[in-house]
Chains A and B, each alone.
Chain A
Amino acid sequence: MKLQVLHPTNRDLRFALGDLEAIVLQRLWETDKSLSVKEFQRKISRSRPVAVTTVATILDRLYRKGIVARQLIKEGGPHYVYSARVTEDQFKHVVVHNVMGALLRGFNDVTVAYLTDRMADGPEDRKVISKYLKRLKDKAKE
């Protein structure tokens, strides 16, 4: 999955995707079957008017990023049907992995210090940190 541009000021999926990309992907996760571009456009148009050409372009972009899969159907004129390639959890995992990986590679000490400071505020967070520290120590012993 290729997520080259991140938008730190945006929330949720829009942190890693454009507005329409986020809407399209959300609709894709809400449905459990593959959909054609026209079916997608009908679904999205209920809440926001959008052209078929725009949806086709957005889906192609998501496909090139490796977030959705598509299949070419030849019957009834060539068209694609799109389905999600990653679940919502997997997607979020990759986003966090990309961001944290980049921060740790670039600013290792500062990032670790920030995380421990930030997480040491609540008792639950302290438990999580202790758990991970124990895991680290065990790994070091091995």
Chain B
Amino acid sequence: MIEHFPRLFIILAWVFLGPVTAHGFAGLLSPLMIILTLFSLILAVSFKRSFQGRSITLLCVLALMFYQSLQLIVIGLHIELMHPDPVSEGIRHFFSIFFDINLGLAITGVVAAFAVATYVEFGKSRMPLTRLFPQYQFLEAPPYLQRIVKKLAVTAGVQMPHVSLLDSGIPWAFITRSKQGFVLAVSVGLLESLRPAEVEACLAHEISHLKNKDFALRFFATMAKVGLFARPLSYLIEPAVYRSREHLADSTASKLVGGSNALVSALSKIREAHYEVATPPASVGMACLFHSSKQRWFGVFDKQPSLDARIKALREGTT
């Protein structure tokens, strides 16, 4: 039946959906799928000990899984609509419940991913800061803080984010996207309890998220996870991507401020307070200096690595 379609359509179908067999498209054999798989494997082998490589490899695996979902929808609909031959009809009938559930989950996932993507891109990231964090008050940052952030942004080669002073005594900071663009919020608690060099290292960590384009990567990882909600593996891969990006931001921050000592010292001090009480609220679309230290399931579902793990990685100089 496919022979009746234009040549370009046939080529695209071959590239994206694989060769046509008696039972329909062989999705796993599609050139794009093979190239992506090989690319992921090469990345996994060559960047074994780098956070950049690790996160990109994980993203590739997520992309593969998401792509497979899309394939499933197209191939599934093709079989549904075309009924190419009695053999595939027989297979469809035999696996009909499994097939329909799988196709339904794939369609739901992809629709949900696009809905969430639209909400994050056109809804959440365009809200004013006061609506994103109604429990906090944001004040004008002092000029010296603006100067430090500007210096770090210039060194990192990124556009300077808007800087806000967060009315909170807990030592923490985060960077997020809002109506004002990227906003770096620094708590009063951070400024009053850390030395200036340590504060600068914490700010460098946040700027590093911009330099490493973490918002785009994390956005993609979240979308892929939503799209793959029915695949358990995605619940492990997505947080692993986030954790790798945090480690990478630490590593980049060390380069920006000329060494890891100040950041290690800051994280150690925060860790001390952390053991007592603090748990700043994390939200979708924000990169936080730290989050809850209480790890469950060995931290495999945590989006933030533990402070211990971060300090250890910085001391070992892992990049």
Contacts and interface: CB of A to CB of B under 8 A. Distances in A.
Interface of A: 18, 20, 36-38, 51-61, 63, 70, 72, 74, 77-80
30 contacts: A18-B277, A37-B169, A37-B193, A38-B192, A51-B193, A51-B269, A52-B192, A52-B269, A53-B171, A53-B189, A53-B272, A56-B169, A56-B170, A56-B192, A57-B169, A57-B189, A57-B273, A57-B277, A57-B278, A58-B276, A59-B169, A60-B169, A60-B170, A61-B277, A63-B169, A72-B139, A72-B167, A78-B165, A78-B192, A79-B191
B270 interface: yes
Given A52-B269, A56-B193, A77 B169 contact: no
Nearest to A79: B192
A55 B270 CA distance: 11
Given A59-B169, A60-B170, A53 B191 contact: no
Contacts of B273: 51, 53-54, 56-57
Contacts of A53: 171, 189, 193-194, 269-270, 272-273
Given A60-B170, A61-B277, A80 B188 contact: yes
A132 B272 CA distance: 50
Contacts of A36: 192
B168 interface: yes
B188 A72 contact: yes
Contacts of A51: 193, 269, 272-273
Nearest to A77: B191
Between B167, B188, B270, the greatest number of chain A beta carbons within 10 A of the residue's beta carbon is seen for: B188
Q: Which 8 A-B pairs have the closest CB atoms?
A: A60-B169, A53-B273, A79-B192, A52-B193, A51-B272, A54-B273, A57-B273, A56-B193
B197 to A, nearest CB: 14
Contact of B169 (A18, A20, A70): A70
Interface residues of B, number: 22
B142 interface: yes
A55 B272 CA distance: 10
B276 A37 contact: no
Given A51-B269, A72-B167, A57 B276 contact: yes
A14 to B, nearest CB: 14
- Binding site of A, secondary structure by majority: helix, strand, loop or mixed? helix
A52 to B, nearest CB: 4
A60 B168 contact: yes
A1 to B, nearest CB: 17
Interface of B: 139, 142, 144, 165, 167-171, 188-189, 191-194, 269-270, 272-273, 276-278
A101 B114 CA distance: 51
A77 B192 contact: yes
A55 B170 CA distance: 9
B269 A60 contact: no
B111 to A, nearest CB: 40
A64 B193 CA distance: 19
A95 B25 CA distance: 71
B142 A77 contact: yes
Contacts of B278: 57
Contacts of B169: 37, 56-57, 59-60, 63, 70, 80
A47 B269 CA distance: 20
Contacts of A60: 168-170, 189
A79 B171 CA distance: 12
Contacts of A59: 169
Contacts of B272: 51, 53-54
A20 B278 CA distance: 13
Nearest to B168: A60
A68 B169 CA distance: 12
A129 B292 CA distance: 49
A78 B277 contact: no
A117 B165 CA distance: 56
Contacts of A55: 193
A55 B273 CA distance: 8
